[in-house]
Amino acid sequence: MTTITCCQFSPRLGEVEANVDESLERFGRAVDAGARIVVFPELTSSGYAFADSAEAGAAAQSVDGYAVSRWKQAADEHNAIIVAGFCEANEHGRPFNSAALLVPGRDPVIYRKVHLWDAERTVFTPGEAAPPVVETEHGRVSVVICYDLEFPEWIRSPALRGADLICAPVNWPRTPRPAGERPGEVVRVQAQASMNRVSIAACDRTGVERDTHWTSASVIVDANGWPVALADLDRSAEEAVTADIELSESRNKRLSDFSDVFADRRTDLYSAPGDDAHRAVESETSEDPLR
């Protein structure tokens, strides 16, 4: 079993050193409590609600800046993995919405968010590379960021490449939901985990930032899709969300004697990406009352 903690907290907009220092304090407490893999929110270093790209650029750092170098040092010192979002400087234009994966004794691995949510496309440069899958002493760890989780193609990719755990720094804006329902983002994390038989740890943030209220729904889901740990959705507060996960379960893709979530894929019948986006709808008539 591997102890995983999501440190759900409230980074403050633009206060990079203070945010990183607070993440390090929380990391120390998580490790003291037994965590070996610790996940932080999207844009932990900088906060999220930038007015524009210039404001984001002012909070951006390169990989050798304060945020990633301090996280690397802490991961090495405590012999535990850190996954944390940061605003990454880009000398060619708008910054990247990135996450660093710090494995003790290794160089930082950087993933840049590919699917930019809403007005993020006016603030950041999208990533162009698949999620990394990195061998560690606990198993193979991958990283995606927030809205990336909403695209099944993007979770299939690291799962098919052998990821045992997908860590996802997120900032989920709060939206209305029917009484008694979990946030849709949590439901989709459960589904993505179980359809791929891979564990997912999503670390959300909390608090209010300019006009945005955050969902505060950090969740750690096992390879069966069950939420082993879920933040207290009523409190909506800073919280360390912790679960013990048997990561080797992600190596078993079987559902039954004959069924296997990967072997049962009918790749011979699936369309190439983009192929079917504009295919004409099959129809026996020209009527279309909804158009």
Residues 91 to 110 in contact with its own copies, rule: CB under 8 A: 106
How remote is the C-alpha of 114 from its chain's centroid? 12
Using CB under 8 A as the binding rule, the residues of this chain from 153 to 182 that contact its own copies are: 153-154, 156-157, 160-162, 164, 177-178, 181
Q: How far is the CB of 21 from its own copies (least distance, A)?
A: 29
Q: Which of 75, 161, 144, 151 is nearest to 110 (CA)?
A: 144
In this complex, which beta carbon is closest to its own copies, that of residue 22 or of residue 148? 148
**Binding mask of the shown chain, residues 248 to 267, with x at each position contacting its own copies by CB under 8 A:** x--x---xxxxx-xx-xxxx
Specify the residue, 18 or 160, whose C-beta has the smaller distance to its own copies: 160
112 φ, ψ (degrees, to nearest 5)? -110, 125
Q: Does 226 bind its own copies (CB under 8 A)?
A: yes
Residue 148: both structure tokens together: 């990336």
User: What is the rounded CA–CA span in Å between residue 65 and residue 47?
Assistant: 16
24 near its own copies, rule: CB under 8 A? no
Task: Indicate the residue among 16 and 144 with the shorter CB distance to its own copies.
Answer: 144
Contact criterion met (CB below 8 Å) for 141 and 133: yes
Binding of its own copies at residue 234 (CB under 8 A)? Answer: no
- Closest contact distance (angstroms) between CB of 18 and its own copies is 30
Q: Which of residues 124-143 bind its own copies (CB under 8 A)?
A: 126, 128, 130, 132-135, 137-140
# chain residues binding its own copies, by CB under 8 A: 80
